[in-house]
Amino acid sequence: MKQRVIDASVLVKLGFAEPGSDEARQAIERLCRDRVPLHVPDHAFAEIVSAARRKIDRGEGSSRDAREFLAIVLGLQLVPWSCVRTAGAALEISLALGVSPYDAFYLAVAEHVDGRLVTADHGLASALAGTVFEGRVEVLGRR
């Protein structure tokens, strides 16, 4: 399982100082250094732009910060997966596990590439405990 799927909860930590930002940067740097392919469902880009806008609206960052953040993410050379390609699998995962459709798309990509999802979403990891996806998740901040 060398492939990795990176969720928006990790990507946002690359551009904005928040708990877990250092760990997210270290994890991404390690994966890039080891030349591990990094995949995302294509909706991840909408999620990160939305998160950047929320940070600005809350006074937690500036327009410049948001632009720099987007440049960082785009510089990662992520492998985007069309939601059209994984919609069926995402629906089944969402229905079976009770996770959000957004989270299900990340899991569908992880399953398709036989990889692991790297997330900072501890709630998602908890929801996957005891399921077939438990072994496909790496949670930042959990040892």
Residues 96-113: tens digit of each pLDDT: 999 999 999 999 999 999
For the chain, what are the domain ranges? 4-139
Residue numbers of the chain with a pLDDT score lower than 70: 1, 142-143
Report yes or no on whether pTM surpasses 0.75. Answer: yes
The correct answer on CATH 3.40.50.1010 for the domain covering 4-139 is yes
Report strand pairing: 38-41 vs 116-119: unpaired
Q: Report residue 131 as tokens.
A: 């399921």
Q: Minimal CA–CA distance to 94: which of 119, 122, 130, 131?
A: 131
